[in-house]
Amino acid sequence: MTDALTSWRLGSLEVPNRVLMGSMHTGFERDGERLAAFYTERVRGGAGLIVTGGYAVEERGRSVPDDIVLGDPALDPPLRRSVEAVHAAGGLIAVQLFHAGRYSAGLPDADGVPVPPVAPSPVAWRAARGVVPVQMSEADIAETLRNYARAGAHAEELGYDAIEISASEGYLINAFCSPLTNLRQDAWGGDSHRRRRFAREVVSAVRAATGLPLIARISGDDLMTGSSTRQDVLALAEEVVAAGADAVSVGVGWHESPVPTVQFSVPHGAWLSVDERVAAHLPGTPVIGSNRICSLAEARRALESTRLAAVALARPFLADPDVVAGAVAGRTVIPCIGCNEECIDHSMRGLPISCLVNPRAGREGRMPLATALQPRRLAVVGAGPAGLVGALDAIRRGHRVTLFEADPEVGGQLRLAGLVSGKSDYLAAARALARRFVELGGDLVLGRRIGLEELAGFDAALLATGVRPRRVEIDTDGSCTVLGYGEALEMAAGRGGSESQPSGSGPGARTELGDLLVIGGGGVAVDVAATLAPRSGRMTLIRRGSRRFAAGTSPSTRWIGLGELRTSGAQMWNNARLVRVRRAVATVEVRVPSTPSGEAGAGQARPSRVDEVVERRDVPVDTLVIAVGSEPRVLTGSLSIPHRTVGGARDAGGLNAARSTREALEAVRDLVG
């Protein structure tokens, strides 16, 4: 049984504990001070070893525009600054050597010339938008191996403590190993052993170039039908160790895998059996597990129940840098909710990363936690995500804060999201934010609807009163139950209705929903429908516009709820509106393209305009759920003290919790410093 807080050996390096901060591309690697401040907080928060984001070993290995190439002279000063900051804080840092392979977007080089992606074979992936990678020649392979070696040597020059080689998640090395993406019949492909040759050669090249401890991160399971077998994976693990790796880190899945790997819907610790399979096969070699291990308690359980030497937590260190030290000290730690909105989604778009529940992430230098020189009395109205984050930031810096919430429980829309299937971490995060606020001396007042006139005695106020569901008129004879989306989620969770949701006949004593009609096509509508699907019969979703269902939501999680709906057989109709409900039958009008009138004659162009016709469709409905968006919940009256309105209370259009928490943080800094 291994204690997470004991030290262990990574080659020549003694690592002080067994909880690593896994690799995350930040998007601000070019800013040494910003990167230094970001890493320093994580060292102080207890990360035994920090692994940087993936730094490309050559120009054609970059994935998104803000990726960097290790060895670019212009980047040496900021990278060296971040290394020095980690060491000054008493920490250790490893650099990840990376090559995107076919996952590169074909980025322009320094001269603006597009660099086509390279791969073992010209096999594009489904999101490549027609870009087919160039098959690497013998000369290309030799050059890339030299670049891996050069990058390894340069990492040692910059002062890094260790190196991790990214050979997982479908990137170049992993692509060489898989029969799906390596179709070669030469010395670099044709059978499993030859497909693994590139991985062996990369590790050997880096090992020959530097004496730094070396981690090889492999894919424990590609989660791709027809890809590497379990035996292939275990053989690769053996071979990278024989080639010079001091430890093996285990990842899982590709970008194109049809199975979620790190999203909110994945149970905590879901991939430990994959990690353990590799660890059991490599006795005497440290193996590092990862993916959906979200807290120190979970890290401890993972280490106690497996032969892993260490575990890597990535996004939990975004949600709360204090994930280890805070837990050891008995403080409440804010959990990662697996939303991906400000981290993975930002990274995929070439934007700096941050965190929905901790918008200071990535802004530590600009927003330090220094104690306020002049403590102020701050009132925060609304304990949804914006109010909770704003109140916690103010109390952490010594201000006197009272947080008012009209409902008997904190969370607002974050609480409702926590009732969605697979999203219980959202509710856990809201409660953790509130507990941490109270631990620091904040005054939390629940179940009290505050008036603006009652805030006059404070120095400033943050108004984060959130949203209420948008109301729509329904022409119904009362033959079906009409619910707001909040009421529907409450009922699915076994609770009563909510005052804040529009109601028709109310849920009554119903426990099953029968045939379900959902009005709305945004992310909330899809979440609600996916949650209710197991409780319903026939399900239909309708939206007025032509946008895709759940458009505008996280690209890395949107497909999960939609997949659940398709599996359940749900109908999803665009350009549709409810006309009326009579005798438990909904009449819906749907605009559909009609066949172009007339045929083009000889020498005539075909008609370019496609007319639309309106179809009337009858749908059985026992329960109708309204999920057509939200509108601000505002307080009436005037307020003489400095104040700011944030989040949905300011603007419910395109409501986004990440935007709300970011606004709250910035507003609190403006209001009370």
**Which active-site residues does the annotation give?**
171
User: In this structure, which amino acid lies at residue 366?
Assistant: R
Cβ contact 365:34 at 8 Å = yes
CB 223, CB 262: distance < 8 Å:
no
Instruction: Provide CB contacts within 8 A for 72, sequence distance 6+.
Output: none
- Tokens 């918008």 sit at which residue? 359
CA distance 309 to 306: 9
Q: Can you tell me the distance from the alpha carbon of 322 to that of 419, in angstroms, rounded to the nearest whole number?
A: 27
167 to 173, 337, 651: CA distances (angstroms): 5, 27, 44
Q: How are beta strands 460-463 and 643-645 bridged, if at all? A: parallel
CA distance 311 to 250: 9
Is beta strand 536-542 parallel, antiparallel or unpaired with respect to 571-573?
A: parallel
Q: For residues 367 and 390, is the Cβ–Cβ distance under 8 A?
A: no
User: Structure tokens of 572?
Assistant: 């999803």
Determine the Cα–Cα distance for residues 390 and 372; give it in Å rounded to an integer: 15
Which helix or strand (DSSP H or E) is residue 264 part of?
none
The two tokens of residue 33 are: 């001070």
Distance CA 157, CA 54 (A): 18
Quick one: tokens of 328? 């050891």
Distance CA 295, CA 324 (A): 8
| Residue given tokens 């009370």 in the structure block | 672
Please state whether beta strands 93-98 and 612-620 pair in parallel, antiparallel, or not at all (unpaired): unpaired
Buried b (16+ CB within 10 A) or exposed e, 576-598: bebeebeebebbbebbeeeeeee
**How many of the other CB atoms lie within 10 Å of CB of 289?**
28
End-to-end CA distance of the chain: 47
Whole-angstrom distance, CA of residue 610 vs CA of residue 612: 7
CB distance 468 to 500 below 8 Å: yes
CB 35 within 8 A of CB 82: yes
Tell whether the torsion through CA atoms of 637, 639, 640 and 646 is positive or negative. Answer: negative
Closest among 491, 519, 522 to 506, alpha carbons compared: 491
- CA–CA distance, 135 with 206 (Å, rounded to integer): 23
Q: Rounded to an integer, what distance in angstroms lies between the CA atom of residue 466 and that of residue 416? A: 12
> Closest Cα partner for 369 from 360, 378, 359, 380?
360
User: Which segments within 435-497 are labelled E, that is strand?
Assistant: 443-446, 460-463, 467-469, 481-484
Q: Which of 392, 347, 449 lies closest to 105, judged by CA?
A: 347
3 state DSSP class of 325? helix
Eight-state DSSP code of residue 108? B
- Measured CA to CA, the distance from residue 402 to residue 404 in angstroms comes to 6
Question: Shortest CA distance to 63 belongs to which of 78, 53, 73, 77?
Answer: 53
Token pair of 596, please?
A: 């172009």
